[in-house]
Structure 1
Amino acid sequence: MNILLPIISGILTGLAMPGNLFSFLIWFSVAPFLYSFSHSKRTLERLLKVFLYSYSLMFTTLWWEIPVLSKNIPEVINTFPGYIGFLSFLLMVLILTLPYYIIWFLGELYFRKSRVVNFKSQVFFSVFSYAAAEILKEFGDFAFTGGNLSDALYQHIGFLQVLPFTGTIGLTILILFVNSIIAFIPERERVKYAVIIIGSLYLVNFVITEKLPLININKNAVKVSVFQTNVPQEIKYSDNTWNSYVEISNYLQENNDKSDLLILPEAVFIKDIRSSEIFRIIQEAVKISNKNWIIGFPTVNSEKREFYNSALYLNKNGQIEEIYNKIRLMPFAEFLPYENIFRVFSFFKLVNYYTPGNKYTVLNLKDNKFSVQICFETYFPEISRNFVKNGAQFLVAISNDGWFSQKTALIQHFSKSVFRAVENRRTFIQVSNTGITGIVDKYGRIVETLPTKTYIGQNFYVPIESKETFYTKYADIITVIILILALTFSLI
């Protein structure tokens, strides 16, 4: 039993992820796993190979979580030692492999004794069983879409143009078709077909990229100011909220531009300041600035004793016009999944366990509409999609990425903004505490990013879009069709 192929395959696929090594690897990195899996003779052998592939993939993709869990968080909140963080990382990776076992389950249907295996059936089974696994990664309390095959191509603008029709799963299916052909084509023809197919795809990508129109910043565009606060986590998580305010006060005094909106990051403060003197000072600063503000900090509903991770929308008079409460919370850090089982991991709580929001809030700005999401919500396409369905004409995400000392983490997070922009044909702005702060146009082109780990502000011009894409309207139907195809190609 050859167990090295799925491990090598998982590592190579992880190295193709944003910020790691070379995205080019993605066109053939999955092939060794598909080949090895299809040549397995026993149930447990196939199960082991799915585990080895998915574990090595997620480990290689998310290696940057090791210093976060073993060093950065323990040093700030001081609730657990570093070695516990490392062991928790190993368990986290194990949990993230769960959706991939659908490949094994479908494989048991496909490799039944009566099965006549041929090239065509192997290709279609491999493509749609793996695609089903990536779809399942979006559901449940442990949902996390990092390590999706499509992530590797976030900078390949031509390929991204399939997203308004299929979402990222369409790009994943394209990648899997190429890998499956390489895996199952006769060995003597493998290199030839790989060169022809991959070369042709990159030619198509180049042509499409060159043909895409430039964005016209017309009269309907809104001018938006962003502020990357670059506040260290040690200051942010200290007991003195004035420390966080001092870090941003200079910018508030110096910024006199005539933009329509100022966006600050997630968790500018780590507790509800609405009844504090600091908030009253901020309200006065809003009035002086003569623009609307987005600012993130937790809010508390005292009557229900509920805590929320929130983005507050202040109008020019300093009044709270809307509050968006984060819908997709991070397991263990923001809520405790399956409490009876994982109660022992409650020490990962950063401040409070939050209640998920339930409203896809749309905000008004000079007769235009936009929405704001918080941090890792960009990993979930339904968040942006539902905002657009509710009328959002551009999209904003605020984030606190100050935990991450490795730029790979920042790149992987920001890459999700690219996918959400193209899927919905909306300009997407991400504003982070330490970076990456930037703007992506509706075709997925990164227009501008600010230097990371830098105290800096910038102005962006944001075009207004109103049309809904095919994917925005029919994503749920696409998902169901792919799951049906996965089962179908396992049975026929």
Structure 2
Amino acid sequence: MSRIFRLGLSASSGILLSLAWLGFPGWTLFFAFIPLLFLNQFFIDNRNSYRSVSFWGHALIAFLIWNGITTWWIAYATMAGAILAIVANSFLMSVVWWLAHVAFRRFKPNLAFLSLIVFWISFEYFHFHWDIEWPWLNLGNGFANNIKMVQWYEYTGVLGGTLWVLLINILLFNVLKLITSKASVWKIFYPLSGLVLFLVVPVIISVSAYNSYTEKENPMNIVVVQPNIDPYSERYDQEAENEKLEKFIRLASTQTDDQTDLVIGPETLFERYPDWNEEQITYNYQFRQLQQWLRNFPKAELLFGASTSQVYPDAESATSTARHRNGMIYDVFNSAVFIGKNGQEQTYHKSILVVGVEKMPFMKYLGFLSDLVFDLGGTTGSLGRQEEPTNFKLKNNWEVAPVICYESIFGEYLTKYVEKGAGIIVIITNDGWWRNTPGYKQHLSFARLRAIESRRSIARSANTGISAFINQRGDLLQTTEWWTEDAINGTLNSSNEITFYVKYGDYIARISLFMSGLLLLFLITKKFLPE
């Protein structure tokens, strides 16, 4: 196999892996790893001529292409962040495949294939929980626009989709390898039967679940506002804040009526965090104007995003993210704010922050660099956060989950809201930083998977992306146009059912982590023990 051909195989896998994030069907992932698996086989067959690092280089090329094609748009927000995300994530992916390749050199094929599966799932799970979270390209996300195929995510979560993709690729590879080696029909029959079984049965189950699923009637009338404020030309003075207030009220008033239960505004609708000091939030001018506006509607309550702050009396009571300026010690938060029917307020602080944009990773060790972090809300330094999600309690004992932007990518995190009683999920976001690129479309599509996993309806308010209503099957019921001022109203059903995934979370990953530990230990012992 020539070097040019090998590089072509690497590039082919990178391109094929990208398709599902670019609007192509998710089933393209079922053969996306085939070129890489043939490369893996080549380097195993020629292990005496090539060291394992040779395969690592080819894998790195494939993953650089995949990451580059699908997430280049991060550069609109931060060039440094884009380079970090693309290069670092590609490197980590290639290391996972290199470890699997080493397993292929030392284990029997079935055990090596198992190593590949559990190593990759463990890697994806790792991306949910370490300090540089980036699960955007988790394989299960590739079915976000093919929700009829993955209704069983309510049992497995998105990692079930990852397992599915890896299994189909491995089975298809083995079938193709047998065909190219001119094996007998009977040798091909068994892996081919397994391929058909694992491909068709999940689809049949999913389509059946989709067609038979019926929501319980528990309607909430909701208005979603999309003010379409350009984040690149946005001002942060008091006059600009009042202009945003007027625009929001104007748009919301076109859809809000006596039957409206909840009005939703986007992430960081207001951004002058000194004005939104949480100890004095009810004295804020915009807050009081919104309270006054709500009095025009007998049932309506309000949820929106704002940059808020909290001042600490001394350094001992401050957090590690607190800022020290002009004699003040304070935190800045990306917050969701709720104004109830009786004027009461509740606040939730975004918990999962965007690396390099809203937080400095490994703050304990790199805290001295925190002022270099570029915050897209117009401030510098890492934002504060709260440890656990909390729901907003509405009238009639309704509870909604206030999910802010990036948090909507984290399925297991959202289950915590549902476990605490959330009947509907509200996502507030600002996707305008990515301009007219695949980024905002991908972000919207991932919300559909959260609806399936939790069987919760979703109301999504995006400042400059796409706002939407999503039902419990993941269907887009109503959407706005991108980069357009708008307000939409609709009815979503609240639910109190608890899915298997909500109850048990990413159990597939926890099993994979345990198995990965055992396999890595076995791999190390095989290295040093005589054959």
Measure, in 1, the Cα distance between the counterparts of 2:88 and 2:107.
Answer: 34
Residue identity over aligned pairs, in percent, reads: 22
Measure, in 2, the Cα distance between the counterparts of 1:215 and 1:110.
Answer: 43
Alpha-carbon shift at residue 64 of structure 1 (Å):
2.1
1:117 is matched with: 108
Structure 1's 23 and 392: CA in aligned 2 closer, same or farther, altered over 3 A? same
Q: 2:356 aligns with which of 316, 332, 336?
A: 332
Alpha-carbon shift at residue 208 of structure 1 (Å):
3.8
2:446 is matched with: 416
Comparing 461-470 and 322-331, the one that deviates more = 461-470
Alpha-carbon shift at residue 95 of structure 1 (Å):
2.1
Alpha-carbon shift at residue 178 of structure 1 (Å):
1.0
1:346 maps to a residue whose letter is L
2:242 maps to a residue whose letter is W
Comparing 36-45 and 287-296, the one that deviates more = 36-45
1:479 maps to a residue whose letter is A
Measure, in 2, the Cα distance between the counterparts of 1:244 and 1:100.
Answer: 43
Matched, 1:248 2:257: no
Matched, 1:227 2:225: yes
What TM-score results when the alignment is normalised by the length of structure 1?
A: 0.86
Unaligned runs of 5+ in 1: 70-84
Alpha-carbon shift at residue 21 of structure 1 (Å):
4.0
Q: 1:47 aligns with which of 56, 77, 83?
A: 56
Matched, 1:299 2:324: no
Matched, 1:360 2:389: yes
Measure, in 1, the Cα distance between the counterparts of 2:192 and 2:138.
Answer: 22
2:117 is matched with: 127
Q: 2:429 aligns with which of 399, 414, 426?
A: 399
SS in 1 for 2:432: coil
Q: 2:409 aligns with which of 362, 374, 379?
A: 379
Aligned-residue RMSD, C-alpha: 3.0
Equivalenced residue count is 471
Measure, in 2, the Cα distance between the counterparts of 1:167 and 1:189.
Answer: 34
Measure, in 2, the Cα distance between the counterparts of 1:126 and 1:201.
Answer: 19
Structure 1's 479 and 201: CA in aligned 2 closer, same or farther, altered over 3 A? closer
1:10 is matched with: 14
2:83 maps to a residue whose letter is L
2:199 maps to a residue whose letter is L
1:177 maps to a residue whose letter is L
Alpha-carbon shift at residue 9 of structure 1 (Å):
0.7
1:56 maps to a residue whose letter is I
Query: Contact conserved, 2:333 with 2:349, CA < 8 A, in 1?
Result: yes
1:456 is matched with: 486
SS in 2 for 1:392: coil
Alpha-carbon displacement from aligned partner over 1:310-339 (angstroms, at most 9, x marks no partner): 00110123331x111100011111111235
Structure 1's 420 and 462: CA in aligned 2 closer, same or farther, altered over 3 A? same
Matched, 1:312 2:337: yes
Measure, in 2, the Cα distance between the counterparts of 1:248 and 1:286.
Answer: 12
Unaligned runs of 5+ in 2: 183-187, 276-280, 313-317, 319-329, 524-531
Query: Contact conserved, 2:311 with 2:331, CA < 8 A, in 1?
Result: yes
Matched, 1:32 2:35: yes
Aligned residue runs from structure 1 range 274-285, under 5 A: 274=281, 275-285=283-293
Alpha-carbon shift at residue 293 of structure 1 (Å):
0.3
Query: Contact conserved, 2:452 with 2:473, CA < 8 A, in 1?
Result: yes
1:360 maps to a residue whose letter is P
Alpha-carbon shift at residue 384 of structure 1 (Å):
0.7
Alpha-carbon displacement from aligned partner over 1:253-284 (angstroms, at most 9, x marks no partner): 44442211111110111123444423321221
What TM-score results when the alignment is normalised by the length of structure 2?
A: 0.80
Alpha-carbon displacement from aligned partner over 1:413-435 (angstroms, at most 9, x marks no partner): 01221111111111122211122
Measure, in 1, the Cα distance between the counterparts of 2:501 and 2:70.
Answer: 27
Structure 1's 7 and 222: CA in aligned 2 closer, same or farther, altered over 3 A? same
Matched, 1:170 2:170: no
Alpha-carbon displacement from aligned partner over 1:7-54 (angstroms, at most 9, x marks no partner): 32122201222x344434211011212332344332322332342232
Measure, in 1, the Cα distance between the counterparts of 2:24 and 2:217.
Answer: 41
Measure, in 2, the Cα distance between the counterparts of 1:4 and 1:289.
Answer: 62
2:325 is matched with: none
Measure, in 2, the Cα distance between the counterparts of 1:212 and 1:182.
Answer: 27
1:266 is matched with: 267
Structure 1's 219 and 105: CA in aligned 2 closer, same or farther, altered over 3 A? closer
Comparing 395-404 and 44-53, the one that deviates more = 44-53
Measure, in 2, the Cα distance between the counterparts of 1:254 and 1:88.
Answer: 39
1:78 is matched with: none
1:288 maps to a residue whose letter is N
Alpha-carbon displacement from aligned partner over 1:163-198 (angstroms, at most 9, x marks no partner): 121111111111111111223334463799889957
Query: Contact conserved, 1:50 with 1:104, CA < 8 A, in 2?
Result: yes
Measure, in 2, the Cα distance between the counterparts of 1:107 and 1:200.
Answer: 22
Measure, in 1, the Cα distance between the counterparts of 2:236 and 2:65.
Answer: 37
Measure, in 1, the Cα distance between the counterparts of 2:156 and 2:252.
Answer: 42
Aligned residue runs from structure 1 range 80-95, under 5 A: 85=79, 88-95=81-88
Query: Contact conserved, 1:6 with 1:50, CA < 8 A, in 2?
Result: yes
Measure, in 1, the Cα distance between the counterparts of 2:164 and 2:469.
Answer: 27
Alpha-carbon shift at residue 374 of structure 1 (Å):
0.2
SS in 2 for 1:348: coil
SS in 1 for 2:501: helix
- Which has the larger Rg? 2
Measure, in 1, the Cα distance between the counterparts of 2:309 and 2:202.
Answer: 52
Query: Contact conserved, 1:287 with 1:318, CA < 8 A, in 2?
Result: no
Query: Contact conserved, 2:225 with 2:461, CA < 8 A, in 1?
Result: yes
Measure, in 1, the Cα distance between the counterparts of 2:384 and 2:207.
Answer: 42
Measure, in 2, the Cα distance between the counterparts of 1:327 and 1:281.
Answer: 28
2:375 is matched with: 349
Measure, in 1, the Cα distance between the counterparts of 2:371 and 2:66.
Answer: 24
Query: Contact conserved, 1:398 with 1:430, CA < 8 A, in 2?
Result: yes
Matched, 1:107 2:100: yes
1:482 is matched with: 512
